[in-house]
Amino acid sequence: MTPTSPTLSIIIVVYRTWSELHACLRSLKPALSALPNSQVIVVNNDPEDGRADQFASDHPECQLIHNGGNYGFAHGCNLGARAASGELMLFLNPDTEDPGGQLLKLLACRHSRPDNRILGCRQVNSDGRTQKVSGRFPTVLNVLGPMRALSRMISHRAGTDCRSSQSEYQSVDWVSGSVLLIDREAYQELNGWCDDFWMYSEDVDLCYRARHAGLEVGWTATATILHHHASASRQDLLTDSVTRSEVVISRHLFAHKHLGAWQKPGYHLLLFISRYLVLTPVALLGAIWSTAPYQVRLRAGMFGHLTRYYKTMLRGIWNSPRAIMTKQSPLNK
| Statement to judge: residues 171 and 242 lie in one domain | no
Check residue 134 and give its pLDDT. 93
Check residue 234 and give its pLDDT. 59
Check residue 153 and give its pLDDT. 57
| Statement to judge: residues 97 and 242 lie in one domain | no
Check residue 284 and give its pLDDT. 81
Q: What is the number of structural domains in the chain?
A: 2
Check residue 316 and give its pLDDT. 86
| Statement to judge: residues 81 and 17 lie in one domain | yes
DSSP calls for 138-187 = P-TTSSSHHHHHHHHHH---TTS--TT---S-EE-SEE-TTEEEEEHHHH
DSSP calls for 24-51 = HHHHHHHHHHT-TT-EEEEEES-TT-TT
pTM: 0.89
| Statement to judge: residues 38 and 177 lie in one domain | yes
Among 200, 230, 260, give the residue marking a domain's end: 230
In a domain, 124, yes or no: yes
Check residue 165 and give its pLDDT. 81
- CA gap 291, 13 in Å, rounded: 35
- CA gap 252, 245 in Å, rounded: 11
In a domain, 290, yes or no: yes
| Statement to judge: residues 58 and 124 lie in one domain | yes
171 has which bridge partners?
Answer: 218
| Statement to judge: residues 94 and 162 lie in one domain | yes
* 3-class DSSP assignment, residue 279: helix
| Statement to judge: residues 254 and 122 lie in one domain | no
Residues in the chain: 333
* 3-class DSSP assignment, residue 195: coil
pLDDT along the chain (333 residues), means of 10: 66 93 95 92 89 89 91 94 96 96 96 96 92 91 66 56 83 96 97 93 97 97 89 69 92 95 93 89 77 84 91 87 52 38
Among 171, 204, 230, give the residue marking a domain's end: 230
Domain hosting residue 47, numbered range: 8-230
CATH number at residue 22: 3.90.550.10
Check residue 68 and give its pLDDT. 87
| Statement to judge: residues 252 and 105 lie in one domain | no
217 has which bridge partners?
Answer: 118
* Contacts of residue 187, Cβ cutoff 8 Å, sequence gap at least 6: 81, 89, 331
Among 163, 197, 230, give the residue marking a domain's end: 230
| Statement to judge: residues 90 and 207 lie in one domain | yes
| Statement to judge: residues 213 and 242 lie in one domain | no
- Locate the DSSP E strands across 184-312: 216-227
| Statement to judge: residues 156 and 201 lie in one domain | yes
Check residue 109 and give its pLDDT. 97
